[in-house]
Structure 1
Amino acid sequence: MDAVSTYEIIRLTITTVLIGSAPVLVVALVVGLVIAFVQALTQIQEMTLTFVPKILAIFATLALTLPFIFRTLSRLSAQVFDLISSGSV
């Protein structure tokens, strides 16, 4: 296994993690910003007000994007197995 193959696997893994986690992170960011904006406007500083909607939004996003995340991880697995079978690793 040479350095180029190692870097390629690391690059593929990092890219897959970023692409797979992006929908959940974006939804959590948007929901958090909206709730923070509402709290700033109404001056309601309740901790459960930020926690519960964000968790519900994350679970809903996970349920909707699970096929996309699975396809992304399957693509990474196929690429790594192709590298292994070709003798690059």
Structure 2
Amino acid sequence: LLESLASTKLSLVLDVSFNKEVAGNSVIYFKKEKGSLRNKIREVENFDNNKIRKLESLSKSIIENKYNENNISRRYKKLFLSI
């Protein structure tokens, strides 16, 4: 998921709590139901460039702000110190 957020313009991801916690509103979610992914693919084929750029920008922002090396190191340090 993180690689997709960092390296693609648009991500289609399964609608589960972990993905929502990480990706927020920067991706397009599909359900684990027959036809859901197909329908979302058809939907995004009609997105204009502005919508795609907005989603790409949101994705990159999540990676840069939440999952950068400093934040990850800080979280690990906090975790280890709490043990």
TM-score category, normalised to shorter length = 0.3 to 0.5
Q: Which has the higher helix share?
A: 1
Between structure 1 and structure 2, the one with the greater Rg is 1
Question: Normalized against structure 2, the TM-score is what?
Answer: 0.37
Question: Normalized against structure 1, the TM-score is what?
Answer: 0.35
Higher relative contact order (CA 8 A, sep 6+): 1
Q: Which has the higher strand share?
A: 2
